[in-house]
Amino acid sequence: MKLICLTGLLFLTLCSQAESQDVTDLPSNRFADAASLREQGFSPLFTGTDLASWNLQPGHQGHWTVKEGVIHYDGGATQKKSFDKSLWTNDDYGELEFYCEWRLASKPKLKEHPIVLWNGDFLMDHNGKRITRPHLDAGDSGIYFRGHFHCQANIWSQELGSGEINGYRTNKRLPIKLRQSCLPFKVADRPLGEWNTFRITLQDNRLSVQLNGQHVVHSDPLPDLPPRGPIGLQHHGDPIEFRNIWIREL
């Protein structure tokens, strides 16, 4: 019963946030084409040919690859630090709008997942251990902004959906209202294995995420962000695919 009440409270809280932001969802059944993105002032970071805009290091070789117009990552980059295994742009960016398409390519399998509460905490048992329940999982990745580990739009298989800003949501030193704003207020992921779209805006230190044409996150201002930094495709040890990556500086 406690879990049902907490889940309901999470739903009501996040729906209230969504209504207060007065956002309009976009059509969710189509992908953006290059011509329309260029008309809107976007420039390509990847359109299917090579990784010229990305800082490909020796430890990435053979793991971050391009095949048939898609960036494939097998999860196996060999650098010592996990952060370095991610694939970063050559250039730094500040305020921006970002578009990409992504797909979790692994075969889904049942995996124990933690339960996230309305305030961003994990549900714990009386011994302080995370309570989990089985959920289909096909991997984990994300998009980093400004070279900052915490400023990341999550790509994952958890029940609360992709787009979550995990590094800020899990930081208990931050105000609850800020942590709540980093949670998706709706789930808009397509079924595991299908292509999804992100359209992400980072402006005034607020990260806003549209997933498949639906607004899912609109954060409060995120503290301690550098003014500029590279964009990263996250290594999390799982296969992930990206295509049609575009950016518009604001």
| H/E stretch holding 35 | helix 34-39
pLDDT in tens, 35-69: 999 999 999 999 999 999 999 999 999 999 999 99
Put simply, whether the predicted model's pTM sits higher than 0.95 gets the answer no
Tokens of 12: 């009501």
Residue for token pair 């959906």: 161
Residue 18 has pLDDT above 70, yes or no: no
pLDDT by residue (tens digit) across 77-134?
999 998 999 999 999 999 999 999 999 999 999 999 999 998 899 999 999 999 999 9
Mean pLDDT of the chain: 90
How would you class 190 by CB atoms within 10 Å of its CB: exposed for 0-12, middle for 13-18, buried for 19 or more? middle
| 8 A C-beta contact, residue 243 and residue 71 | yes
- Higher-scoring residue by pLDDT: 174, 3: 174
With cut-offs at 50, 70 and 90, classify the pLDDT of residue 30. confident
Q: Give the pair of three-digit tokens for residue 51.
A: 């990784």
Q: Which of 4-18, 213-227, 233-247 has the lowest mean pLDDT?
A: 4-18
| 3-state DSSP assignment of residue 169 | helix
Domains of the chain: residue spans and CATH? 34-106+139-249 (2.60.120.560)
pLDDT for position 80: 93
